[in-house]
Structure 1
Amino acid sequence: MTGSFPLNAWYAAAWDAEVGRTLLSRTICNRKMVLYRRTDGLPAALEDACWHRLVPLSIGSLVGDDVRCGYHGLVFAPNGRCTHMPSQETINPSACVRAFPVVERHRFVWVWPGDPALADPALIPPLPWLDDPEWAGDGAMTEVKADYRLVIDNLMDLTHETFVHGSSIGNAALAEAPFEAFHGERTARVERWVLDQPAPPFWAGQLGHDGPADRWQIINFLAPATIYLEVGVAPAGTGAPEGDRSQGVDMRVIHLPTPSTDRTCYYFWAHMRNYRVHDQGQTRRVLAAGGGIMAEDELVIEAQQRAIDDHPDHVFYNLNIDAGSMWARRAIDRMIAAEVAAPIAVAAE
């Protein structure tokens, strides 16, 4: 078991559109998997290594609901059991690969790399905006060469927008605005309001208003790897801080940094909005802007990972702005500690 991520959790492994009738290779929490859809449309996830000679099943082929190894032709059902061996009628009863619990929800395919007996679908993070017809938007995924927790650190402290994203969503007022931080057993939350200040370029464009604006950033974290942001702007003095955001524009920005290995992650993200929901052009423009913002984050986070690798004994000190990331990391650490106390069962079905 690695020390950087819990295994008893649901992780986004792919966008739903990525998983089809071809074999998709993904590594989640150091577990190599092959994902595909059965003939009834439901997703399946198997260990990406043939029982016979460990050749990746992802370079094989589909036979109905089963995966056939591309080396010697062994066939494995969605539950991991071997259903065919070449040149023999008797199948070795030990011939199986691990089948991972998998659920499709909120436009993602989620996998559980830990103890399958604990894989309760009710624990999948609620992200209702991705399914709600009152909200529109889209997202993407990028592979980041960094510990997934560095992505979480980046998101739990958005003062970096002033310096990393100054041409789009950041401005000087943001870095100096006060904030509040809250936490629970598996949650952390950071709230910040920037009142009666010019909106940065991206938000001014969304609002269609160049005058003073009230801006909100509410960061919500659920361990181990789910963050959604409540973000938006409204003309100053129209009631947003008191709860009336109707005069402004409101977004939910979903961030799912799924650990792949100890030093890499799949960074899924989506920008969902509750205005101009039938404007596909607006969806494309927001998606393009979001991609540019994510590229700026990726550059900084990967550079940070390289520096950490170069300075393995360096001790980090926290500032006030690190409160959210501190609580997030503590929540992750508690999940890991619980697994250390109760070893995970990994037997195939």
Structure 2
Amino acid sequence: MTWITNRWYVAGWDSEVDRTPVARTICGEPLMFYRKLDRSVVAMRDACPHRLLPLSMGYKEGDSVRCRYHGLLVGPDGCATEMPIKSERVPRGVCATLYPVVEKHRFVWVWIGDPARADPELVPDFWPCSTPGWTFDGGYNRVGCDYRLMIDNLMDLSHETWVHQGSIGQHEITEAPIETEVRGEEVLVRRWMPGIEPPPFWRDALRSAGPVDRWQVCHFLPPSSVLIDVGVSPVAAGDTIERHDSGVRGFVVDAMTPETETSTHYFWGMARNFDVDDPGFTARFKAQQGRVFDEDVEILEAQQRSIDANPDLKLRGYSIDEGSVRARGIIRKLAAAELADAG
């Protein structure tokens, strides 16, 4: 198994989950999500405990779901409350598995592992998504690749020079030195680009011309998220890699939830501290960001196909890959610890 189970994974945007059940396979397990009348979220195994038809195909009745095959009624606690023959007593134990779920930072999070360990305090700290003075929005892609390839991509932004030449890429990215640091279970990769011409997006966001200092700080948080602190400030502001709030700053938010060994739910967005009261800009930027990520999806899916076609070859790691190598090492360590605890 390539993923950690006893952690929180993003299951969907808060706006995706409503009264109608949403089906989504997470870490190889088929789940469905829906909101009860009180708007709290139910996360349930998407299989009727009678004949295993997906419950997400069923009919909502209040806070319950009636199976579309034989009519078994399943309550929000996962247990059957009415049999196909209504006069028949409901046996104990006719239940679908429930999963712990929380809402935070605009996302619905689910816990796939031992429910007794589902501590809400372990939800990754996406603080820019919930902090006054910042605004946050984004989108979703299903990507046909191993989720770890996406972490590799986001922890090594040198690819921007070549994959995103028309938007955020520039040669200074590959020329700037990088610094990699491991902090417990987290990894940071820093890149500082002083006195350069900004790429088109950041020039427009800053609303001024002239050289800038640009930064990128990639932050891996287990089990599978990457926050990227990005932005530019005028050279005259004197910002540094440690303190950089004089210009325009954002956090690229990336949550990669494994679907299968070779497919991923990719939840992405941008939290920013500029033009926060301009919903039109938010919508335009979301569309632009989506186009940038579409370029990544093309590369990553082609990479996965090539990996599958070349089972005798292995990925190589160079100096630019240190952040992703470290992140993968943390994932392996945590997954091995889970296996040891279970065994």
TM-score by length of 1: 0.95
- Determine the structure 2 residue equivalent to 1:73: 71
Letter in 2 for 1:287: K
Letter in 1 for 2:45: E
- Determine the structure 2 residue equivalent to 1:180: 179
- Determine the structure 2 residue equivalent to 1:35: 33
Letter in 1 for 2:152: D
- Determine the structure 2 residue equivalent to 1:315: 314
Aligned to 2:142, the other structure's residue is in SS state strand
Aligned with 1:44 (options 36, 42, 45): 42
Unaligned runs of 5+ in 2: none
Q: Is the 8 A contact 1:13 1:111 kept in 2?
A: yes
Aligned partners of 1:232, 1:217: CA distance in 2, in Å?
A: 7
Q: Percent identity?
A: 45
Q: Is the 8 A contact 1:199 1:233 kept in 2?
A: yes
Unaligned runs of 5+ in 1: 345-349
CA RMSD of aligned residues (A): 1.3
Aligned to 2:161, the other structure's residue is in SS state helix
Shift of 1:244: 4.9
Q: Does the C-alpha gap of structure 1 residues 244 and 190 become closer, same or farther in structure 2, counting only changes over 3 Å? A: closer
Aligned to 2:342, the other structure's residue is in SS state coil
CA-to-aligned-CA distance 1:263-288 (integer Å, 9 cap, x gap): 11110011111011101121112111
Aligned partners of 1:126, 1:215: CA distance in 2, in Å?
A: 24
Q: Is the 8 A contact 2:24 2:31 kept in 1?
A: yes
- Determine the structure 2 residue equivalent to 1:83: 81
Shift of 1:342: 2.0
Aligned to 1:237, the other structure's residue is in SS state helix
- Determine the structure 2 residue equivalent to 1:164: 163
Find out whether 1:341 has 2:333 as its counterpart: no
Counterparts in 2 of 1:42-121, with a 5 A limit? 42-87=40-85, 88-121=87-120
Letter in 1 for 2:90: I
CA-to-aligned-CA distance 1:69-122 (integer Å, 9 cap, x gap): 111111112221111112133112121111011111111110011111111111
- Determine the structure 1 residue equivalent to 2:121: 122
Shift of 1:206: 1.0
CA-to-aligned-CA distance 1:121-173 (integer Å, 9 cap, x gap): 11111112222231113100011011111100000000001011111111011
CA-to-aligned-CA distance 1:220-268 (integer Å, 9 cap, x gap): 1111111111100011231111655343100011100111111111100
- Determine the structure 2 residue equivalent to 1:265: 264
- Determine the structure 2 residue equivalent to 1:210: 209
Aligned partners of 1:247, 1:112: CA distance in 2, in Å?
A: 39
Q: Does the C-alpha gap of structure 1 residues 184 and 244 become closer, same or farther in structure 2, counting only changes over 3 Å? A: closer
Shift of 1:307: 0.3
User: What count of residue pairs does the alignment treat as equivalent?
Assistant: 342
Letter in 1 for 2:113: G
Letter in 2 for 1:195: P
Letter in 1 for 2:219: N
Aligned to 2:88, the other structure's residue is in SS state coil
Aligned partners of 1:44, 1:66: CA distance in 2, in Å?
A: 10
Query: Segments of 4+ in structure 1 off by > 6 A?
Result: none
Q: Does the C-alpha gap of structure 1 residues 313 and 184 become closer, same or farther in structure 2, counting only changes over 3 Å? A: farther
Shift of 1:312: 1.3
